Amino acid sequence: MSKHIIRALSAIAFIYLLGLALDHHLKIFDTPVKQLANLLPAIAALGLFYGLTRRLWTSAALTAGTLGLIFAAHHLKIEHLHQSLKFADTFLAWQTVTNWNLLSLYAPTWLIPVIAIGITFIVAIAYWEKADRWLIGAPILVAALLCFIGISHKQYSPNSLYGPHAHGAKPWDTQSKTQAQGLLAAITSGARSAQIHLPEVDRQTLDSFLAKSPPRTPITNEAKPDIVVWLAESFFDPGILHDIKTCEYLPEYCSLLNESLHTSLEVPTFGGNTTRTEFEVLTSTPFHALGTKDYPYVSVVHHNMSSIVWSLKALGYQTTAIHPNHASMWQRDRAMPLLGFDKFISRADFDKPELDGVWVSDAELLRRIQTTLAASDTPQLVFAISMEGHGPFPKREVVDLQRRDAVKVPEGTNTKAATQWREYIYHAQNAGRAVHHLKSAIEQKEQPTLVVFFGDHLPNLKHLFKQRTFKNGKPAWQQKTPALAFANYPLNVSWLPKATYELGVWSLALAGLVEHTKYHYLAHAIELSQQEESNDELAPVIEALQIDNLYTTIEASP
């Protein structure tokens, strides 16, 4: 056996053992097929690096470093979001660099030094190792590329390796794919299903319901209210925890509850991925209807997509989205115009804004909302996405240290959980205060104004949630978030949203405009489903209407 083959087998054995060590879902006694499914992507990476460098041990070190970064990212995502790393995350790789100020807060302090040491080690190996001939490297480079293409395409690799049910995976449970298949096999399986296949509309059910429904009515010259939809980052009602009284900790929010329509919403995410919630609110399409498309702005918002924003534009509204973070995060800068917004105000548009903690304060966001509303006599839609409440939640500098440190901690709470509790309550108080100020302001306005305020998901207060359980007995990632609505005119609706994908339609109904838009039929179906004792017949109708939004032609040109 030649020395080249021995070296190659040694490098492959090293990568194989490293994969076993890093992936706790992969065992040495697993079936050969499962082990092969996880080994092939690593071997392809090894071949790719070798083809480019013609240095075997340099390539092995590069492959090891790449695997280390992949598994580190996976464990961080599990820790903070309770979600596995997936192929879709590759589309956001550059975002990791451009938004490092946010993502670095979730990275362990040792990560950057370890990466620096790893790079130094790889450079040293490359300097020491002599390059092989191109006649050896070039064919291996081609073979590695063909291997990547083959394993990531349904036509060229068997389902027994990377199919949706391979190794006992449940395709409807994306978390189980990693547990059943191993991380590298699950990521490769995700590449095979990355092509967008939107769900089909049950046209017969839809047409039958539309035929029996009252038609849309044309808009009149009646006054159209300004509409503010305020997405509160990581906001939840602490009263859903055992032995916690909401009004004791969030008095302004409690006051708002008593003076507003309010409900609780199912949300499509936990700890992050706010764009899932945004997508549901703006399009009225459930995130789960997209299958395993983790980032809807990346995977499906590729054209002028039907939304409540476009519907309001068709009624003469100016539409503005405000988010005091980098515009490129989650590709909002590309997606917001496609969802109908005339203007997207991001962090770069704030001139020396007030920070509270790490992020732009809710008080600053309130000022920008009020400035936007006052800038024109044309009716406004303002979709505000806050940042102040964004985690993580270590002890950090805030505007009012005395108030933060004075937050009462529930009995039996340890130091780490107490820190998270005080940080969360402090920023939640600020959110409640800002919205309470907005309520007072619109009560002084002649222009009819509607405000809808809601939480996008629960934060991952992992130390707190280990000690404080929820009243409904469910885990943190299955909890609902609050929503409330108030206006300076009487609100008249007979139904409440149960999930964020019903919130946008509800907002149109509260504004008295839903009957003038394509969402009239969806609102009618939801209203009927809540009035009937049994809504089994209406469930497929609602689903068909929600999915049909993905195919509907935009009502107004940009």
Order of strands across the sheet with 449-455?
A: 261-265, 481-487, 449-455, 226-232, 380-385, 318-322, 343-345
Cβ contacts of 20 within 8 Å, gap of 6 or more:
26, 27, 28
Q: How far is CA 120 from CA 114, 117, 234, 449, in A?
A: 10, 5, 39, 59
Residue 418 scores a pLDDT above 60 = yes
Return the closest-CA partner of residue 382 out of 227, 184, 541. 227
Return the closest-CA partner of residue 198 out of 268, 299, 294. 299
Question: Given this model, what pLDDT does residue 31 score?
Answer: 86
Q: At 470, is the secondary structure helix, strand, or coil?
A: strand
Residue 512 scores a pLDDT above 80 = yes
pLDDT band at 142 (very low <50, low <70, confident <90, very high): very high
Mean per-residue pLDDT over the chain, rounded: 88
Place of tokens 């509309």: 201
pLDDT per residue as tens digits for the range 431-479: 999 999 999 999 999 999 999 999 999 999 999 999 999 999 999 999 9
Question: Given this model, what pLDDT does residue 194 score?
Answer: 59
pLDDT per residue as tens digits for the range 320-363: 999 999 998 889 999 999 999 999 999 999 999 999 999 999 99
Q: Do residues 11 and 59 lie in contact, with contact meaning Cβ atoms separated by under 8 Å?
A: yes
pLDDT per residue as tens digits for the range 514-537: 988 989 999 999 998 888 665 677
Q: Do residues 254 and 247 lie in contact, with contact meaning Cβ atoms separated by under 8 Å?
A: yes
Question: Given this model, what pLDDT does residue 171 score?
Answer: 54
Burial class of residue 134 in the structure, from the number of CB atoms within 10 Å of its CB (0-12 exposed, 13-18 middle, 19+ buried): exposed
Q: What is the rounded CA–CA span in Å between residue 69 and residue 241?
A: 36
Name all domains of the chain by residue range, CATH numbers in brackets.
3-192 (no CATH), 220-548 (3.40.720.10)
Residue 498 scores a pLDDT above 50 = yes
Q: At 486, is the secondary structure helix, strand, or coil?
A: strand
Residue 202 scores a pLDDT above 70 = yes
pLDDT per residue as tens digits for the range 282-311: 999 999 888 766 789 988 898 899 999 999
Residue 254 scores a pLDDT above 60 = yes
Helical H segments across 152-235, by residue range:
159-162, 174-181, 183-192, 203-212
Question: Given this model, what pLDDT does residue 187 score?
Answer: 85
pLDDT band at 209 (very low <50, low <70, confident <90, very high): confident
Residue 150 has a CB neighbour count (10 Å cut-off) of 13
Q: What is the rounded CA–CA span in Å between residue 495 and residue 506?
A: 8
Q: What is the rounded CA–CA span in Å between residue 515 and residue 548?
A: 18
Q: Do residues 482 and 455 lie in contact, with contact meaning Cβ atoms separated by under 8 Å?
A: yes
Q: How far is CA 470 from the centre of its chain?
A: 23
Half-sphere exposure for 352 (CA within 13 Å, toward CB): 0
Question: Given this model, what pLDDT does residue 221 score?
Answer: 58
Residue 558 scores a pLDDT above 50 = no
Question: Given this model, what pLDDT does residue 432 score?
Answer: 97
Residue 108 scores a pLDDT above 60 = yes
Q: Tell whether omega for the bond before 392 is within 30 degrees of 0, i.e. cis.
A: yes
Return the closest-CA partner of residue 175 out of 420, 475, 459. 475
